[in-house]
Structure 1
């Protein structure tokens, strides 16, 4: 099997970056949700206009972006940082280990808050404000282009052919959007996992409208498909909220969802176990519990809350021009649960399309790898040969319960966030 491998595509989480020393070794990176950069983030935006940053980078003020991890390192490890050569995202660091290529994936670089969306290059003005030396920033490479072949010693150790091509395939959610076809304007991706994300692939026209409108919480960046951008919003804890309740509260596995029956309830859950991207101090909570509330009702309220958040994100996209008859593709762990998918369809009031594989990120990375090896004519050809819809889940006819609860949820959420 290994002898038939033609290329390797690497996708990863975003925002995490590694300082790479001149000898090729690296310092430990900071995971994307590490809040140690909070003071750095607050100090930066005490002297920089968030709207100016947004106009250049397409990113809203948030503590998660790589710039604050970099600034933290320069402040906390001054002597060690003098010996670094460059910064690399997770995918690009693995590509460097495999091939020696020291460039950063453009899609992942979009999450640093240092890329100018208009030029596609590092923004020197922001670098100066952040006191990040430009000489420490690497070249930028598009997702899906060859980054070199696997080094001969590594190929030998792994039993791989010596001509295996390596490419980076962008950030996980954006990678997943490729086999889902979410680079066309009539499709939206609901990517589920630890986080909960809604992504729309757009062109220059929609991007320009977005940059002139205040659509809070959505961010923009370079898609893995050339000449396309993504607009994405999400929760730090999406599917993780379900996992948290199942494993830490009920001591159950994910399969327990198969035993939970749909039913109406009056319980509300606010899924902010790790805050929200614009307010790290926000916390999660249940509301309206009584001595008659059971664990199934609590679990269903968690699933409903995630669906309410997805609906709110999509409503924001509608304000940017998303057509009413858009197609929603759902991928990731939550898409494996009939209960979750059915509730999501009911809350949104539309059919939900499921890919043949829930592992859309893996499929997207494989398709981009094949593209880098010349196995497909272009991105459209790769998509058409990899895209398979296995199932469509339709909403129930009577959705009054979900509509009323969603409207109430929005009001309660605002009151909760204001209190925190």
Structure 2
């Protein structure tokens, strides 16, 4: 039986998995994504990502490797890699959450018409997007910026190293803030504004397109077959959507990792004005050709829980021992540790009491994540006119039973959880499989590879007990925003 190789370059860890045609795992590896932390957040090391990736590929058994017919890659978005003419990285690659672009965002926000940008690119201006990262390079590394021959994504860089072909898929281009969604091309006007000639941007392609066979030197080094096909991948959340069959309108994906992402599949590009939205969400090209998505999320979803557990010297085993009862008093937590949909957003606990214990705060944090998610959910569903038909949740957070029960109750939705915990990796492998003809179409791939583990049904009593706290959360959210914006002004004055 032919096998497929999926690679997921993640915010914290990179995963490599060999799957059978039926979606079963043959072998897997994982390693921390090479990263240098600093006061702004930090930068990825593209060359090191590739080096460690190749070393891990070498470590797979020869029996598993010889059956692999194609590979593809999912990765985080917004991160840019500057390459020289030999396709070697020569720039820093600030993380999507890195804050060094905040000053650039502030300096340029009055010159950017948000409504126009939103209609063209599907994004409301935020400092994390690729456009601001390129402006940062232009201002603070002008010589390196000028010497860059090509700009690509992290996925595009690794794919080029494996195949020798440079590319940029639509789903990752959708997160740059200079991709013309309607015409599926780079925006000449926006590239001119940031001083990047069009010829420095790679050819745009859909996800799931064969680039070439793997380069012979890479095949020799790793032990992979010389006829292995290298296939364009996509944005990690959209690859996860491919893995669980979320590509038609009415299908929804919750992806719970460092971020807690919300993806609603769309049949066509939405017609929405940014000024009409209470809270912004993005839209763009799906990893399935001719499909689109609406996307929002909590930037620090899983990150918030990991942060808190570390503070109280606990790990995920603590969550399994914790009682399932809802606290009588909920300390509302606003999960903006890595920002939110407005500039200057920061996290906060509200309604703390002296008798509260570790378990009360842990459960309060998880409940509040559900509240934040519900607000994002309702705004997207209403503005996109979505009638939800199926909800699937992937990611490490699905192992937290309390979190899943709360989420199902707050959303008032039945939630499917697949057996696979690494949806993005599997989605990349499925894209590779469709490209080489192992699957007839996305639906065929879903039928053959999806394995259900559990279904969470919304509990009416739990839902009723949480509704008053949810209403209070919504009221206080606007107050928290006001306080955050006030603090941002004070901090800006101090820095001057």
TM range (shorter): over 0.9
Higher alpha-carbon deviation: 99-108 or 124-133: 124-133
1:171 equivalenced with 2:235 (yes/no): yes
Could you tell me how far 1:215 is from its partner in structure 2? 5.5
Provide closer, same or farther for how the CA distance between residues 59 and 318 of structure 1 changes in structure 2, counting only shifts above 3 A: same
Could you tell me how far 1:213 is from its partner in structure 2? 4.6
Return the alpha-carbon distance in structure 1 between the equivalents of residues 237 and 278 of structure 2.
20
Deviations along 1:128-174, whole A, 9 cap, x unmatched? 22222222111112111111111111101111110111123211111
1:150 equivalenced with 2:214 (yes/no): yes
Which residue of structure 2 aligns with residue 285 of structure 1?
348
The size of the alignment, in residue pairs, is 417
Which residue of structure 1 aligns with residue 165 of structure 2?
101
Contact (CA 8 Å) 1:117, 1:221: kept in 2 or not? yes
Return the alpha-carbon distance in structure 1 between the equivalents of residues 220 and 237 of structure 2.
32
Which of residues 134, 138, 141 is equivalent to 1:74? 138
**Superposition map of 1:207-226 within 5 A:** 207-209=270-272, 213-214=276-277, 216-226=279-289
Provide closer, same or farther for how the CA distance between residues 192 and 87 of structure 1 changes in structure 2, counting only shifts above 3 A: same
Which of residues 245, 248, 256 is equivalent to 2:318? 256
Return the alpha-carbon distance in structure 2 between the equivalents of residues 302 and 386 of structure 1.
34
Could you tell me how far 1:239 is from its partner in structure 2? 0.6
Return the alpha-carbon distance in structure 2 between the equivalents of residues 297 and 4 of structure 1.
50
Unaligned runs of 5+ in 1: none
Provide closer, same or farther for how the CA distance between residues 148 and 325 of structure 1 changes in structure 2, counting only shifts above 3 A: closer
TM-score, normalized by length of structure 1?
0.96
TM-score, normalized by length of structure 2?
0.81
Return the alpha-carbon distance in structure 1 between the equivalents of residues 232 and 260 of structure 2.
23
Contact (CA 8 Å) 1:236, 1:277: kept in 2 or not? no
Return the alpha-carbon distance in structure 1 between the equivalents of residues 390 and 303 of structure 2.
25
Return the alpha-carbon distance in structure 1 between the equivalents of residues 281 and 411 of structure 2.
19
Provide closer, same or farther for how the CA distance between residues 390 and 183 of structure 1 changes in structure 2, counting only shifts above 3 A: same
Could you tell me how far 1:212 is from its partner in structure 2? 8.8
Which residue of structure 1 aligns with residue 379 of structure 2?
316
Which stretches of structure 1, 4 residues or more, deviate above 4 A after TM superposition? Answer: 209-213, 321-325
SS of the residue corresponding to residue 35 of structure 1 reads coil
Which residue of structure 1 aligns with residue 365 of structure 2?
302
**Superposition map of 1:1-400 within 5 A:** 1-26=64-89, 27-204=91-268, 207-209=270-272, 213-214=276-277, 216-247=279-310, 249-265=311-327, 266=329, 267-279=331-343, 281-398=344-461, 399-400=463-464
Once superposed, what is the RMSD of the aligned Cα atoms?
1.6
Could you tell me how far 1:209 is from its partner in structure 2? 4.8
Instruction: Give the number of the structure whose residues are more often strand, by fraction.
Output: 2
Contact (CA 8 Å) 1:64, 1:277: kept in 2 or not? no
